Structure 1
Amino acid sequence: MTAPAAPPHPGRWAALFVIGLAQLMVVLDATIVNIALPQAQAHLGISDADRQWVVTAYTLAFGGLLLLGGRIADFWGRKRTFVVGALGFAVASALGGLAQNGEMLFAARGLQGIFGALLAPAGLALLTVLFTDATERARAFSVFGAIAGGGSAVGLVLGGVLTEYADWRWCLLVNIPISVVAVVLALPFVPESRATGDTRYDIPGAVAVTVGLVALVYGFTRASEDGWSSRWALVSFGVAVVLLVAFVLIERRSKHPLVPLGLLVDRNRGGAYLFSTLVGAGLLGAFLFLTFYFQVVLGYTPLQAGLASLPVTGGVLIAAGVASQLMPRIGPKPLMVTGGVVAAAGMVLLTRITVESGFVTLLLPAQLVLGLGLGLSFVPLASLALVGVGNQDAGAASAVLNATQQVGASLGTALLNTIATTAAASWIAANPITDPSQMLDAAVHSYVVAFAWAAALLAIGTALILILVRANKQDLPTVPPAHVG
């Protein structure tokens, strides 16, 4: 005789509010800091080569430890992990807000990423456990997804307001009250839950992949300062290769791998993960230079820069609604290829910027086109990552997708910053500075080169989808995973 289903938890909707609040904090932390970065760089004396660490320290730690964080939450206790993650995020934010130099800020951002890698998957796992009814779960994940999608827009505006009317430090300090409220409400409203079974963790795999990626990013940084053939750049690249190869070997032999390699060999899922990595690389790296272009070249205030960046989010939201309607009819591949081409075209439009580009005539349409392309791509991407995956591996497949986005963002930001810094130095060498205003010309040249490389990354990702993906609309899972960051 089948046991009756357990009644739904009475505090599940209150728990959704708490988890959504924490998720908003994790999501907006990427864009809110981007808006504050020009002021933070100037105030702390951070070099152009090192400024990317404000972004990459967070995304590397988050992406590199996300899968381990999910497993820790399952077996250590999801509520406990959620609370520790939120408190740790608050402490790390306080350290960042009080930073006295670039190194302290980089370390705080890395610490934020570590605790975010505990907080985000714990919240998602709690939603899965709390909402057992299919209809309610779909509604809860819709709310969670809306927060994830809208959080970036909130971060752009809030970052502008805090930087302009308070101080750039408040873009980090604002996380403290949010974290405190989330913890205080989680204690009475969020129930504890944990998985049963073997609780061993793949610590060697997590260390190898995270340190390997840090070495790779450090190599890019040294290359921008000392040249691609400099000793420290080559040593860093060598260490990265050794550790990343070791990671693959560890995963092949581990009984509890951080990344189940079987998830990667399917051409549809492999295409999805490669596309996710390349889009993350091109997108977040390009946003970094767009922020500097608005504030340093065009002279926008932080708030104006935040508002000026919203067309991308608007395009994503519009196209995502269209893609949701079209995907059951035409499948993922046409949408992703179309979206990738459109997004690359938007990035190409950004290569036309000058020192005096108009917002309405160039920047608005370019960002809108970029957002429309991304929106068409993101919706089918989440489902494509689950094609052919059983229920027991669905969480891992979704987590790998999120990890590839974060890792791609880290590597792309570092690579594009190195390329831009090198391009600026080359422009100055070819055009001796006789007027201070020429420094803006050098900066714009470096941004144009970065946008061109970002467009190339988007184009390569689109080509891989065209070549690798064979899934059609009948192959898609009925409920795509929710993103954790």
Structure 2
Amino acid sequence: MWCSTTPSFNVALPSLGVQLHASFGGLQWVVDAYTLTFAGLLLAFGHLGDRFGRRKVMMLGLVGVAIMSVGGASATDLGQVIAARAAMGVFAAAVFPATLAMIINIFTDVKERAIAIAAWTAMAGFAIAIGPTAGGWLLEHFSWHSVFWVNIPVAVVILVFARLLVPESRAAHTGRLDVVGIALSLLSVTALVWTIIEAPNQGWLSPISLVGFVFAVVCFAVFVRWEMRTSSPVLNMSLFRIRRFSLPAVAIMVAYFSMFGFLFMITQYFQGVMELSPLQFGVHSLPFAVAIAVGAPLATLIAQKVGTTAVIVFGLVVMSVGMFIAGQVNVETPYMGPVLVSMVLMGLGLAIVQGPATESIMSSVALDEAGAGSAVNDTTREAGGTLGVAVLGSIVASVYTTKVGPRIDAIPDFLMTANEKSFARESVIAVLEMVKRPTNPAFAQQKADLIYAMKAASLEGFQLASYVTVSASLLVAVVIAIFLPWKPADGSVLLAWKERSNP
């Protein structure tokens, strides 16, 4: 789980940017390079794990993450860091689907499997949420290189335990390797994620964005047609005719859309508005992590009693309430109040959705397709998260730049350089450097007014973005309530095959 914690790396970006003289766009690609390769290869590695051995593929991924972490820690320029992050995403894509696939092969009892999946989802969400604290502590004591170095001992320990304790598993029946399907899945997912990443910079309706979206849709359409006709598909498309598979996947996508958007906004709030250090930021975000760790196992077990539908709908509503409260925060709002409440509700809502939804998805696939099912589960998370940061970040940036841009442009060049102005137009985190910079007393009040305006503008953007998130979550909650069966399922693979035969 640790290798996907992008938030833990985010706190290192300011230090990395200063030391490597990186632009804001360059720092974005340090994060996005990992996301792009990780999301694009999940389905392919899930399929390969089913065929050649899930433990074998996972161990290969662990070795790769460790080696690429050495490369990242040894990097001397931004290009090397981006390359290392992209390679880490490739190998992390081999780890993630294998872990969940092995769980459902090891735990065949319905209740035991539900508990194991609950623990998996709790750790997945907790790892993301705890990232800022871990990254902040490292930066408090070491350089930005430490966020790479720390991966190596963790990978080695997991590798040893996997070799000694985890049994190998693979599909009992396999046909020819679906090379065409793997290539098409890679093209479609990578094109979609790349376009989402670049759309805020290029423009959502710009020619390059439109071409990217059209190319992704065409590749996906060809992929679906090919998978429905080939004898040994990468992904059995009939799975999507099972409502207990497809609808929870949509719920997870929207939940991660909301969560990553919330993390993006809360990161800027803690660092830009509250002016916290990386470690302080991490400590203040701990309630979010604790809420996920506590909520996921409980929600999965409750879903076994009352049904997946009721729990997922409730979780989406809780997330909506949390995001709405977050949108009402202003510059003077204290942490002990709406900010803390919104974090706890967001964490609980995510946990309540992802535990039961993941269990429903994995209970709907045959053991031979566990890797592919896990890959779909993980791909929806990544696509939703990437879309959340891109869409909500674009909304925040649009409002922020419109409000702050003219004020920054009016500042004389002898008070702010062109690079400083550019960064200040793009992110409220620029406040951290502005506060530290010595200022002539004659301009102290103007500086204070500008900093306050930057903080207020970012929170206006957060409010609009929160309304978009609330609307999306409530809409999906209604869809789930209408179309997903309310009766609790027994969670067996046999049920899945019966539903597949009689959709």
| TM-score > 0.5 by shorter chain | yes
Q: Which of 27, 33, 37 is matched with 1:61 structurally?
A: 37
Could you tell me which runs of 5 or more consecutive residues in structure 1 were left unpaired when the two chains were aligned.
1-23, 481-485
Corresponding position of 1:458: 473
Partner residue, 2:378: 402
Q: Is the 8 A contact 1:282 1:453 kept in 2?
A: no
Q: Does 1:327 align with 2:303?
A: yes
SS at match of 2:176: coil
Tell me the equivalent position of 2:93.
117
* TM-score normalized with structure 2 length: 0.79
1:307-328 alpha-carbon deviations (Å, 9 max, x no partner) = 1112222223343354345323
Percent identical: 31
Cα distance, 1:193 vs structure 2: 5.5
SS at match of 1:239: helix
**C-alpha separation in 2, matches of 1:217 and 1:149:** 21
- Which of 217, 228, 232 is the matching residue for 2:208? 232
**Residue 487 of structure 2, aligned match among 454, 472, 475:** 472
Query: Does 1:350 pair with 2:365?
Result: no
Q: Deviations over 1:18-44 (max 9, x none)?
A: xxxxxx4335x3332233344445554
Q: Deviations over 1:81-137 (max 9, x none)?
A: 233211111122233334455544333222212111212333445556667888987
Instruction: Kindly state the Cα deviation for residue 142 of structure 1 after the two structures are TM-superposed.
Output: 6.6
Measure the CA separation in 2 of the matches of 1:52 and 1:278: 23
Partner of 1:415: 391
Matched, 1:292 2:282: no
Letter in 1 for 2:153: P
| Partner SS state of residue 385, structure 1 | helix
Instruction: Give the alignment of 1:51-450 within 5 angstroms.
Output: 51-126=27-102, 144=120, 147-183=123-159, 194-198=170-174, 200-386=176-362, 389-393=365-369, 395-429=371-405, 435=447, 436-437=450-451, 438-450=453-465
The SS at the match of 2:11 is helix
Kindly report the root-mean-square deviation, in angstroms, between the aligned alpha carbons of the 2 structures: 3.4
Say if 1:42 and 1:252 are closer, same or farther in 2 by CA, change over 3 A.
farther
- Map Cα deviations across residues 437-485 of structure 1 (whole Å, 9 max, x no partner): 13333333333333333333322322221232124114544999xxxxx
Which amino acid counterpart does residue 473 of structure 1 have in structure 2? P
Contact 1:332 1:384 in 2 (8 A): yes
State the shift of 1:175 in Å: 0.5
Paired residues, what number? 457
* Alpha-carbon distance between aligned partners in 1 of 2:481 and 2:96, rounded to the nearest angstrom: 32
For residues 424 and 329 of structure 1, do their structure 2 counterparts lie closer, same or farther at Cα, with a shift above 3 Å needed? same
1:158-209 Cα distance to aligned partner (Å, 9 max, x none):
1110122212331122102222344455556666555454363333333333
The answer to whether the 8 Å contact 2:38/2:90 transfers is yes
1:25 aligns with 2:40: no
Residues 198 and 337 of structure 1: is their aligned pair in 2 closer, same or farther, counting only changes over 3 Å? closer
Instruction: From the superposition, tell whether residues 470 and 171 of structure 1 become closer, same or farther in structure 2 (CA, over 3 Å).
Output: same
Amino acid corresponding to residue 26 of structure 1 in structure 2: C
**Most deviating of 259-268 and 103-112:** 103-112
Q: For 1:140 and 1:216, locate their aligned partners in 2 and report how far apart those are by CA, in whole Å.
A: 32
Return the alpha-carbon distance in structure 2 between the equivalents of residues 86 and 356 of structure 1: 45
Q: Which amino acid aligns with 2:466?
A: F
Q: Distance in 2 between matches of 1:96 and 1:450?
A: 34
Instruction: State the shift of 1:344 in Å.
Output: 0.9
Give the letter for the 1:204 counterpart: V
Letter in 1 for 2:389: T
Once the two structures are superposed, residues 303-350 of structure 1 have per-residue CA deviations (whole angstroms, 9 ceiling, x without a partner) of 111111122222233433543453233212222112111101101111
CA deviation profile, 1:339-386 (whole Å, cap 9, x unmatched): 111101101111122233311022101111212222222232123325
Amino acid at match of 1:210: L
8 Å CA contact 1:320–1:375 kept in 2: the answer is yes
- The amino acid of 2:457's aligned partner reads A
Mark the CA change 1:258 to 1:161 in structure 2 (over 3 Å): closer, same or farther: same
Once the two structures are overlaid, the 10-residue window that deviates more, 336-345 or 47-56, is 47-56
Q: Does the 8 Å contact 1:70/1:118 carry over to 2?
A: yes
The AA in structure 1 aligned to 2:69 is: S
Q: How far apart are residue 429 of structure 1 and its match?
A: 4.9
Aligned CA distance change for structure 1 residues 151 and 134 (closer, same or farther; 3 Å) = same
Of the structure 1 ranges 416-425 and 216-225, higher mean CA displacement relative to structure 2 is found in 216-225
CA distance in 2, matches of 1:129, 1:198: 17
Residue 278 of structure 1 aligns with an amino acid whose one-letter code is: V
Q: 2:107–2:116: 8 Å Cα contact kept in structure 1? A: yes
Aligned mates of 2:167, 2:300 — CA distance in 1? 33
Partner of 1:168, secondary structure, is: coil
Is the Cα contact below 8 Å between 1:52 and 1:414 reproduced in 2? no
Counterpart residue type for residue 464 of structure 1: V
**AA paired with 1:460?**
L
- Unaligned 5+ segments in structure 2 are 412-446, 496-503
| Cα displacement (A) at 1:390 | 4.5
